[in-house]
Amino acid sequence: MSLETPTQSWLALDAQEAAKQVALGSQIMSTLGEDLTLGHVSVRHECGNLISIKRKGISLAEVGLDDVLVVDLNDPDGLKVPGMHLEALIHTEIYRARPEIGAVIHSHPVYSTALSSTNAKLEYLTHDSVLFHNGIGRYADSADLIMTPQQGQRVAQALGERRAVLLQNHGVVFVGEDIRWAILSAITLERSLKLQMIAGQLGKLNPIPLAEVKKIFPIKYQDKFLTEYWNRWVRELSEYKGSQGTRENR
C-alpha cells in the first residue's frame, strides 16, 4: 500500500487518499503494542466537514482501504452507520472543537495508558518530551467509555490546545495537524515515558527548564521534517511485517 507524498497539504483531497492515511496510520500505530480491536484512527478531509475513520471489529494491524468509514460532521446521524466504533464521538467532538486538527487517534499504548492510571506527570527530560511543551491534558471525569456527545465535549475541553489527553484509567487521545503529527505524538509520548521510567530508576530526575523547552520546540519539531519521519515509519512497518512473516514461517 503506497501513499504518495502530497505536493501541498497532507489533508486528504478525497475518500481514497483519506483511507490510505487511516490504514497506514493504523498499521503504524499497531507496532506500538497489541490493542486488540479497540484502537481507532481518523483523518479530516481537506473540505473540512468530512472525516474518515477505522471501523470497529478489527485490530489496528488489520486495517485496509475497505475498513474505513466516512462521516459528515454536519450530519447529526453520521455516526449511526454500521461498523462505527462506540467511542467515535471522541473524534467528532475534537474535530468540532478544533478546526485546525487534521487527525485524531485513540489508543491504549502501554506507557501512556500506565500514566493515565497514576497521578504522575510527563517530565521534560529529553528532546522527545519537548513536543509536549504545553503539557498533556487529563480527562478525569471517570474511567467510563466515551459514548455521549457531552463526554466527547469534555474530552475535547480536557485536551484544550495540546497534542494529547490522557483518559483516566483508560488510555490516551493523540491529535495533530495531519496524520503525520498525530502519529509523531503517539510515538514520541511513548518513548518519552519509557525514558522517564528508566531515568527514575537510575537516579533523581533532572528536567529541562520550561523556558528552554519552549526554545527547543520550534527548532526540533518543524513540519518539513515530518514527511521524512512518515516515510521512515512506512519503511519500518514493511520491515516489521517482514520480520513477523519470517517468525511465522519458522
Residue 189 belongs to domain with CATH number? 3.40.225.10
pLDDT tens by residue, 141-178:
999 999 999 999 999 999 999 999 999 999 999 999 99
Confirm whether 182 is domain-assigned.
Answer: yes
Residues forming beta bridges with residue 103, ordered by sequence position: 43, 176
Confirm whether 174 is domain-assigned.
Answer: yes
pLDDT computed for residue 8 by the predictor = 54
Confirm whether 128 is domain-assigned.
Answer: yes
pLDDT computed for residue 245 by the predictor = 64
Confirm whether 229 is domain-assigned.
Answer: no
Closest CA to 21 of 146, 134, 181: 181
- Count of domains in the chain? 1
Task: Please tell me the distance from the alpha carbon of residue 164 to that of residue 40, in angstroms, as a whole number.
Answer: 15
Confirm whether 5 is domain-assigned.
Answer: no
Answer whether residue 25 shows pLDDT above 60: yes
Task: Please tell me the distance from the alpha carbon of residue 81 to that of residue 229, in angstroms, as a whole number.
Answer: 34
Confirm whether 3 is domain-assigned.
Answer: no
Mean pLDDT computed over every residue of the chain: 93
Confirm whether 43 is domain-assigned.
Answer: yes
Answer whether residue 77 shows pLDDT above 60: yes
Name the residue range of residue 133's domain.
15-224
pLDDT computed for residue 3 by the predictor = 45
Answer whether residue 7 shows pLDDT above 50: no
Answer whether residue 244 shows pLDDT above 60: yes
pLDDT computed for residue 41 by the predictor = 98
Confirm whether 194 is domain-assigned.
Answer: yes
